[in-house]
Amino acid sequence: MNIYLDNAATTPLDPEVFEAMKPFLIENFGNPSSTHAHGRKVRSAIESSRKKAAELLNCTPGEIIFTSGGTEADNTLIMSTVHTYGIKHVISSPIEHHAVLHTIENLEKAGVIENHHVLLDPDGHVDLGHLEKLLKQYPGALVSLMHANNELGNILDLNTVGEMCKQANAFFHSDTVQTVGHYRHNMKELFVCGMTAAAHKFHGPKGIGFMYIRKDKKINPFVHGGAQERNMRGGTENVYGIVGLVKALEIAYREMDEHEKYISGLKSRMIEKLKADVPGVSFHGDSANLKRSLYTVLNVSLPESEENDMILFNLDLQGISASGGSACSSGATTGSHVLGALYPGSKRGAVRFSFSKYNKPEEIDFVVEKLAELVNSKVSS
């Protein structure tokens, strides 16, 4: 058995995406900044990709800037917004991805900003009442709150938070790396100043992503160099990556309703089977709530035991790839700052299963069966 349930870490490339990329790896090799025919050909591929991405997100092509992935996009939006607008206060949460958390920590260490963490409710959702208070206390702050948490799947209501930020004249950055390609963002309706995407989370290639920057919230570049990306990000463009990214986004949009239904079905199947077969199982965050969590992510909480601490290792031995990390760091797993923030001191086992269009119901059944065996072997011994 070889089962891949770690699609929040990365997804397999769609063969249709690979076909679209191929000509840009071999025959169409020009540098897009060159003005001759070889250059013009690839320049036009970049610009038509940008136009297509903008159409899908309902924004203008000038608002899409290609980057090397989610990490660079998050770094750019945070660093450049703070520097361009002289921002002194950032409002974020302790369960942001490290691409956001560490960037903010660095700015704070350098004495550039003060960071204020918003309170979370027991399920890991942002306490909107507390956010309101912080917005009043620090007008004009940069707010950085992720759309879907990569470990829990918890979803933030972007419309509501966007409106709150608009009223408070705050800059709203949202790390949307886990939702672009799985959720339709309508940038004309959302008040988001900057958001981020990584192609490898929706069956595109690794090492390519983009940031959306609202046209009335322009920022200075973070990566300095040539005039590429409308002077917003220096460096020769990753042309085959850009073509692959946008092809993957097109496929994702084309098939989104069908896939959402199918993948939600896999997630519900796993929840029900786990509840029936694994004693003491529960779910971290709001992961099992299909209305308030991303359909691709399920974070399972297992009773405390030495075996459950080694659960990822044991699943791997059975040919099952998943990920996790409990609140406390020990054994074969490294600690998770997300679970650590929500469940301080908890020694329960944690496994994040994340699904894609390529997973099959039989795989879910097999994984639950193995997980039940691993957990029950401890209970009966």
Q: Which residues are catalytic?
A: 328
**Binding string, 158-177, against ligand PLP, x = CB under 6 A?**
-----------------x-x
Which of 42, 45, 77, 99 is close enough to bind ligand PLP by CB under 6 A? 99
Residue 56 Cα distances to 2, 50, 64, 188, angstroms = 34, 10, 11, 11
- How many residues in the chain? 381
The answer to whether residues 310 and 365 touch, using CB atoms and an 8 Å cutoff, is: no
CB of 78 to ligand PLP, least distance (A): 12
Can you tell me which residue has the tokens 């020769």? Answer: 236
Can you tell me which residue has the tokens 């945070």? Answer: 78
Q: Which stretch binds ligand PLP (CB under 6 A): 69-77, 106-114, 137-145, 163-171?
A: 69-77
Which of 43, 89, 97, 337 is close enough to bind ligand PLP by CB under 6 A? 97
When asked if residue 374 is in the footprint of ligand PLP (CB under 6 A), the reply is no
DSSP state of 54: H
Residues numbered 215-244 forming contacts with ligand PLP, rule: CB under 6 A:
none
Residue 14 Cα distances to 263, 290, 360, 361, angstroms = 16, 26, 16, 20
Which of 70, 244, 285, 324 is close enough to bind ligand PLP by CB under 6 A? 70
Count of Cβ atoms closer than 10 Å to residue 191 Cβ: 17
Which of 7, 49, 71, 301 is close enough to bind ligand PLP by CB under 6 A? 71
Q: Which is nearer to ligand PLP, 7 or 49 (CB)?
A: 7
Q: Which stretch binds ligand PLP (CB under 6 A): 44-52, 66-74, 231-239, 279-287?
A: 66-74
**Binding string, 104-143, against ligand PLP, x = CB under 6 A?**
----------------------------------------
Q: Which is nearer to ligand PLP, 150 or 293 (CB)?
A: 150
CA–CA gap between residue 260 and residue 240 (Å, rounded): 27
When asked if residue 69 is in the footprint of ligand PLP (CB under 6 A), the reply is yes
**CA angle, 145 then 221 then 57, to 5°:** 50
CA–CA gap between residue 147 and residue 81 (Å, rounded): 19
Can you tell me which residue has the tokens 């959402």? Answer: 260
CA–CA gap between residue 109 and residue 76 (Å, rounded): 18
**331-352: b (≥16 Cβ within 10 Å) or e:** bebeebbbbbebbeebebbbbb
When asked if residue 203 is in the footprint of ligand PLP (CB under 6 A), the reply is no
**Binding string, 341-370, against ligand PLP, x = CB under 6 A?**
------------------------------
Which of 178, 228, 333, 359 is close enough to bind ligand PLP by CB under 6 A? 178
Positive or negative CA dihedral for 135, 138, 140, 143?
negative
When asked if residue 198 is in the footprint of ligand PLP (CB under 6 A), the reply is yes
Q: Which is nearer to ligand PLP, 146 or 311 (CB)?
A: 146
CB of 176 to ligand PLP, least distance (A): 8
When asked if residue 340 is in the footprint of ligand PLP (CB under 6 A), the reply is no
CB of 347 to ligand PLP, least distance (A): 25
**CA angle, 194 then 243 then 226, to 5°:** 65
Q: What amino acid occupies position 266?
A: L
CB of 74 to ligand PLP, least distance (A): 6
Q: Which is nearer to ligand PLP, 164 or 197 (CB)?
A: 197
CA–CA gap between residue 183 and residue 159 (Å, rounded): 14
CA–CA gap between residue 31 and residue 185 (Å, rounded): 32
CA–CA gap between residue 276 and residue 224 (Å, rounded): 55
CB of 24 to ligand PLP, least distance (A): 20
Q: Which residues bind ligand PLP (CB under 6 A)?
A: 69-71, 74, 97, 99, 146, 150, 175, 177-178, 198, 209
